[in-house]
A and B are shown apart, each in its own frame.
Chain A
Amino acid sequence: MHIASVLIRRLLNAVGLLAAVLVLCFTLIHLAPGDPAEVIAGEMGGATQEMMAEIRAQYGLDQPFHVQLFSYLGNVAQGDLGFSFYFDRPVTELIIDRLGATLLLVVSALLLAIFLGTFLGVVAARNPNGLISHFVTVLALFGYAAPVFWTAIILLILFASVIPIFPASGGMYDITGPDDPLSRILDIAHHMVLPVITLSTIYLAFYSRLARASMLDVLGSDYIRTARAKGLAEVVVVYKHALRNAVLPVVTFAGLQFAQLMSGAVLVEAVYSWPGLGTLAFESLLRRDTPTLLGILFFSSMVVIVANLLTDIAYRLIDPRIRSGAK
């Protein structure tokens, strides 16, 4: 199938999924005990029955479910996700402000996990009983079993308190520091190290194990024997011929796990006070700020959908068999 038609089908599917996420968000607000009118009345410090009815009419809360749903969908299509009473700002604005920080964190952690994980996996596969191979096994167990927020706290204690080489205050940069672009970038990089390492541990462990297994598989195949037989250098055989096939499962899983990565980001951000969507989610959770939390759920789902699309494209670029349509 042609890549353009595949992409169009994927895009349509993505729009459908996003609409479904919105319907879910809206239904959840409706199912939850208590209605927004009571919240608003609470903010005003109490209200009579008549005033409640007035509030309901004003916000369209007295309309039937499907009418409210469609007006909500219409608003979201125009980029309006509602208003946060706690932050006193439109939800969309709040989220756009924080999205960059989360993407920076998540993408850096993912890239670190993919590259380092693949590298460790390949080295381990070349010597299945060596030290690195055992290290990968232990790392995989540790990465899976240790709660990510706990790893974050332990790293913070170790490298910001016991050996103070990274900032303990958290955040993205030092507000009191110099604000020319270069030192700001360096400052952000300095603040990023611990959160990125923490977030990548889970996936690093998983990818290194995956890359090890898939590399072992590929190294046993005939075309690798052929490459060796014609006298190619081992480095070329491993890193040029074998790696391309061995990395495919890693790419697939990286795409599939983007939703988990966003979840992990919530916990990591909460520990390091990284000013992203996760911290925003944590704050709106503490304040019971439902519109903001649902807005974050919607936006993160959108990020996941886009990431899946990109993975699909990356996959086609790496694997020529899929590009040409043959299976």
Chain B
Amino acid sequence: MSDAAREFEQKLRVESPAREAWRMFISNNSAIVGLAIFTLIILTTFVGPLVYTIDPFELVWAPLTPPGEEGWLLGTDYLGRDLVAGLLIGGQSTLAVGAAAAIITITIGITVGALAGYYRGWVDEALMRVTEFFQVLPPLLLAMVLVMLFEPSLTTIAFAIGVVSWTSAARLTRAEFMRIRELEYVKAARSISASNARIIWRVILPNAAPPLIVSAALSVGTAILFEAGLSFLGLSDANVMSWGKLIGDNRPAILAAWWPVTFPGIAIFLTVLAVSLIGDGLNDALNPKLRRR
């Protein structure tokens, strides 16, 4: 009798949306794998260098020592620098630039999309023209020009990546805002004379958040690929090791030695893979249409 009552009570208890999304997320195997890989990468790159203290720029042994030989786990690169140290320290800047660039991307994208979708009319027209303009410019070429003109450093690289990749976030935000602004609760907010700013940031944005969170997660992956591409082309801070820089530096020696480019590539691949698995998991967890199935 009391069991049945407890069960009934349990059914009555409403789960908060965030909790429900989290439950969906952790019951998704590939999302968990992604989260595990990502956590592992963060831990190794940020804790690893505290234990493994070799300088990634130091010439430690003969150039191009194969992995496992002479005690060098992943071997050395074309200058004789230790690849384990390069991967550990290099990961920090790659991840930091990726995260910073993703924040810039999503901030510009949300601001542009929110203003265009909320105000419509000439604001929308003007902002969409700007968006269209940025979609026509090949992103990597524009980023190359920006970084070259303003000297490569972690800041300019993150900024350049953000400037060239915000358009899809803007379009997504705009579409969400156009949909939500017509809903009852927005009309209700307007009827109690809430300011435009309040409606945009406090009423509509939280409700538009789920797809934007997914887009933000995926843009971390894209930004990491971008950073790697730029450093591969030689546009990296000369004093900071990164995964892309390792590949770019060792490119001339690829036919002589496979390992200096293969390992950083695998690191980038795993990171982006993990991020996109997390993004897919978030998408499934936050998308109410899928959840009802």
The complex places the Cα of A239 from the Cα of B218 at a distance, in Å, of 33
Report the minimum CB–CB distance from B92 to chain A (whole Å).
Answer: 18
Question: Given A149-B247, A157-B255, do A144 and B272 touch, yes or no (CB 8 Å)?
Answer: yes
B269 and A281 contact, CB distance less than 8 A? no
Answer yes or no: A294 CB below 8 A from chain B CBs: yes
Q: Which residues of chain A have C-beta atoms less than 8 A from B268's C-beta? A: 146-147, 150
The complex places the Cα of A141 from the Cα of B136 at a distance, in Å, of 26
A21 and B255 contact, CB distance less than 8 A? no
Question: Given A144-B276, A147-B265, do A259 and B144 touch, yes or no (CB 8 Å)?
Answer: no
Q: Which residues of chain B have C-beta atoms less than 8 A from A286's C-beta? A: 234
Q: Which residues of chain B have C-beta atoms less than 8 A from A270's C-beta? A: 232-233
Which residue in A20, A263, A294 is a CB contact (below 8 Å) of B139? A263
- The 0/1 profile, CB within 8 Å of A marked 1, for residues 121-150 of chain B is 000000000001101111111101110111
Answer yes or no: B251 CB below 8 A from chain A CBs: yes
A281 and B137 contact, CB distance less than 8 A? no
Report the minimum CB–CB distance from A30 to chain B (whole Å).
Answer: 10
Within 8 A of B (CB), among A271-320: 271, 281-282, 285-286, 288, 290, 293-294, 296-297, 300-301, 304-305, 308
Report the minimum CB–CB distance from A257 to chain B (whole Å).
Answer: 10
The complex places the Cα of A157 from the Cα of B259 at a distance, in Å, of 11
Question: Given A32-B150, A285-B233, A297-B145, do A260 and B272 touch, yes or no (CB 8 Å)?
Answer: no
Question: Given A21-B137, A266-B140, do A153 and B149 touch, yes or no (CB 8 Å)?
Answer: no
Q: Which residues of chain A have C-beta atoms less than 8 A from B221's C-beta? A: 144-145
A285 and B137 contact, CB distance less than 8 A? no
Which residue in A17, A24, A267 is a CB contact (below 8 Å) of B140? A267
Answer yes or no: B97 CB below 8 A from chain A CBs: no
B265 and A260 contact, CB distance less than 8 A? no
B145 and A293 contact, CB distance less than 8 A? yes
Write the chain B residue with the least CB distance to A307.
B136
Q: Which residues of chain B have C-beta atoms less than 8 A from A267's C-beta? A: 140, 229, 232-233
B145 and A294 contact, CB distance less than 8 A? yes
The complex places the Cα of A239 from the Cα of B217 at a distance, in Å, of 36
Q: Which residues of chain A have C-beta atoms less than 8 A from B251's C-beta? A: 153, 271
B149 and A285 contact, CB distance less than 8 A? no
Write the chain A residue with the least CB distance to B137.
A301
Answer yes or no: A168 CB below 8 A from chain B CBs: yes
Q: Which residues of chain A have C-beta atoms less than 8 A from B254's C-beta? A: 153, 156-157
Answer yes or no: A154 CB below 8 A from chain B CBs: yes
- The 0/1 profile, CB within 8 Å of A marked 1, for residues 211-246 of chain B is 000000000010001001100111100000000100
Question: Given A267-B232, A290-B149, do A281 and B136 touch, yes or no (CB 8 Å)?
Answer: no
Answer yes or no: A226 CB below 8 A from chain B CBs: no
Write the chain A residue with the least CB distance to B272.
A145
Answer yes or no: B201 CB below 8 A from chain A CBs: no
Which residue in A29, A157, A262, A285 is a CB contact (below 8 Å) of B234? A285
Answer yes or no: B99 CB below 8 A from chain A CBs: no
The complex places the Cα of A150 from the Cα of B135 at a distance, in Å, of 25
Residue among A149, A282, A308 facing the most chain B CB atoms (10 A cut-off): A149
The complex places the Cα of A264 from the Cα of B141 at a distance, in Å, of 10
The complex places the Cα of A32 from the Cα of B251 at a distance, in Å, of 29
The complex places the Cα of A296 from the Cα of B149 at a distance, in Å, of 15
Which residue in B135, B228, B229, B247 is a CB contact (below 8 Å) of A256? B135
Which residue in A32, A266, A304 is a CB contact (below 8 Å) of B136? A304
The complex places the Cα of A175 from the Cα of B74 at a distance, in Å, of 38
Answer yes or no: B262 CB below 8 A from chain A CBs: yes
Report the minimum CB–CB distance from B284 to chain A (whole Å).
Answer: 14
Answer yes or no: A107 CB below 8 A from chain B CBs: no
Answer yes or no: A28 CB below 8 A from chain B CBs: yes
The complex places the Cα of A242 from the Cα of B146 at a distance, in Å, of 45
The complex places the Cα of A69 from the Cα of B221 at a distance, in Å, of 38
B233 and A282 contact, CB distance less than 8 A? yes
The complex places the Cα of A263 from the Cα of B222 at a distance, in Å, of 13
A285 and B265 contact, CB distance less than 8 A? no
Q: Which residues of chain B have C-beta atoms less than 8 A from A157's C-beta? A: 254-255, 258
The complex places the Cα of A161 from the Cα of B135 at a distance, in Å, of 38
Answer yes or no: B41 CB below 8 A from chain A CBs: no
Residue among A24, A148, A150 facing the most chain B CB atoms (10 A cut-off): A150
Answer yes or no: B26 CB below 8 A from chain A CBs: no
Report the minimum CB–CB distance from A231 to chain B (whole Å).
Answer: 33
Which residue in A17, A29, A33, A149 is a CB contact (below 8 Å) of B133? A17
Write the chain A residue with the least CB distance to B150.
A32
Write the chain A residue with the least CB distance to B243.
A147
Residue among B141, B146, B265 facing the most chain A CB atoms (10 A cut-off): B141
A146 and B269 contact, CB distance less than 8 A? yes
Which residue in B133, B146, B148, B270 is a CB contact (below 8 Å) of A20? B133
Question: Given A157-B258, A285-B234, A301-B136, do A147 and B141 touch, yes or no (CB 8 Å)?
Answer: no
The complex places the Cα of A103 from the Cα of B257 at a distance, in Å, of 32
The complex places the Cα of A325 from the Cα of B191 at a distance, in Å, of 39
B137 and A297 contact, CB distance less than 8 A? yes
Q: Which residues of chain B have C-beta atoms less than 8 A from A301's C-beta? A: 136-138
The complex places the Cα of A142 from the Cα of B206 at a distance, in Å, of 33
The complex places the Cα of A175 from the Cα of B140 at a distance, in Å, of 31
Answer yes or no: B261 CB below 8 A from chain A CBs: yes
The complex places the Cα of A21 from the Cα of B151 at a distance, in Å, of 22
Answer yes or no: A31 CB below 8 A from chain B CBs: yes
Question: Given A17-B136, A32-B149, A144-B276, do A297 and B232 touch, yes or no (CB 8 Å)?
Answer: no
5 A-B pairs besides A144-B276, A146-B268, A285-B234 with CB distance below 8 A are A33-B151, A145-B270, A147-B247, A259-B139, A293-B144
The 9 A-B residue pairs with the shortest CB-CB distance in the complex, in nearest-first order: A263-B140, A150-B265, A32-B149, A145-B273, A145-B272, A262-B138, A263-B138, A300-B138, A259-B138
